[in-house]
Homo-oligomer: A and B are copies of this chain.
Amino acid sequence: MTIAPTCPTPIMQHETVQMAHGAGGRLSQVLMQRVFMPHLSNAFLDLLDDQAKLDLPSGRTAFTTDTYVVSPVFFPGGNIGELAVNGTVNDLAVGGARPLYLSAGFVLEEGLLLAELETIVRSMAEAARRAGVMIVTGDTKVVGKGQCDKIFINTSGIGVIREGVNLSCRNLKAGDSIILSGTVGDHGMAIMTSREGLSFQSRITSDCAALNGMIASMLDEQPCAIHAMRDPTRGGVAATLNELASSSSVGIEITEKTIPVKPDVRGACELLGIDPLHVANEGKLVVAVAADNAREALDLIRSFDLGRDAVIIGSVVDDHPGMVVMRTLYGSRRIIDLPLGEQLPRIC
C-alpha cells in the first residue's frame, strides 16, 4: 500500500497570536518557521532538538536567568526583546564571565500582533549579534487573552569565567573606590514617562545596552584590582550599593554631588517624588576597585561610549558595616536605604 503525501493543511495567515500557536502542533511549527527562525536561525537552533549541545571553552561556567515583564513592551530607547538579551548578557559579564549562549522562553498573550512579536524577535537577534552571543534553545507558550500582558520573555545565559578573575559582591574591602559608569535612572524614567497618563513630553530614553565589551577590557587590564561589579537594575544604585555593603559586611560612603543624573531624568524624578538612586538602569555598572587602580579603571571606562560619564562616587569604609551613607549637596549625611516597596512596577 502506498500513501499519497499529505496535502499541506491550509494554514490561515493569522495576524495575531492564536492559542494554537502554543500547542505543539502544526501552527507552532508555522510560528517557528515564519517569525522566529528567519531572525534567530543558527547551527544550534536549526536542529530543533529539545536541548542545545554545546562545546564550552574550559573554565568555570557562569549561569544566570531573568524573566522580563516590562510594560510597555516598546519604550523609548528599546523594547522587551533587546532588554532581555542585554540584561542577561550583563548578569553574566558582571560575574567576570564571557557571555556565550542564551536561551529564550516566551509567554505570549493570545491576540498579540505577530508583527509586534517579529519586531521583538528581530531586536533580540540584533542585540545578540552586537553582544557576541547566540540564542541556542527556546520555548514558546501561549496563554489566553487577559492571562498575561502581551509578552513575557525569560532569557537564561551561560558564559565562561575568565581565568584569574574573582568577582563577587562579598569581595569589597575598606579603601576600595566605587565607580559608577554613567548617569542614573534613565531606563526607569523612560519606562515611567512612556506609560499611559504619565507621558510628559520628554526626551528620556532607556540606557539599555550590553556591557560585556567594556567589562572585558576592564578585566583584560586589571584582572585583580576589580573586586566586584554589579549592574544596578531593579532598586537602582541604592539597592546595588546596599547589597554590596551587606554581602561584604562593609560600609559604603558616597557623595551626592558626584552622581550624574540627566536634567530630564532629574526633573521627572522630582515631579514624581522618586529618588534617582532608586530608579532602574539597564546599561550601567557599579564597580568596586582597589583605590590605587581606581584612576586607571575610570579612564578606561571613560574611553568607552557607554562609560563616558563615569565617575568615582565614593568608597568602601570600615564604619557602619552593611550600611550606605551619602554626603548630601548640603553637607549633611543621610542613610541610603533599600526601597521598602514598589515605586516602579514592571520596570524590566
Contacts and interface: CB of A to CB of B under 8 A. Distances in A.
A180 B20 CA distance: 26
Contacts of A101: 63
B51 A342 contact: no
Which of A49, A97, A103, A346 gathers most chain B CB within 10 Å? A49
Contact of A338 (B29, B91, B141): B29
A27 interface: yes
A291 interface: no
Interface string A229-255: 011011100010001000100000000
A147 B178 CA distance: 38
Contacts of A18: 341-342
A26 to B, nearest CB: 5
Nearest to A238: B25
A306 interface: no
B66 A23 contact: no
Contacts of A213: none
Contact of A63 (B66, B137, B333): B137
A48 B169 contact: yes
Interface residues of A, number: 97
A53 B166 CA distance: 10
A51, A68, A157, A278, most chain B CB atoms within 10 A? A51
Contacts of A233: 24
A271 interface: no
Contacts of A335: 3, 6
A105 to B, nearest CB: 4
A157 B233 CA distance: 24
A104 interface: yes
A215 interface: no
A346 B340 CA distance: 35
Given A51-B62, A97-B51, A139 B235 contact: no
B106 A3 contact: no
18 contacts: A2-B320, A3-B320, A3-B323, A5-B320, A9-B337, A23-B339, A23-B342, A24-B339, A25-B338, A25-B340, A26-B340, A29-B338, A51-B95, A52-B64, A67-B107, A69-B148, A71-B147, A143-B149
Interface of A: 1-3, 5-6, 9, 18-20, 22-29, 47-56, 60-69, 71, 91-92, 94-95, 97, 101, 103-107, 136-139, 141-144, 146-149, 152, 154, 156-159, 161, 168-170, 230-231, 233-235, 239, 243, 247, 278, 280, 319-320, 323, 325, 333, 335, 337-346
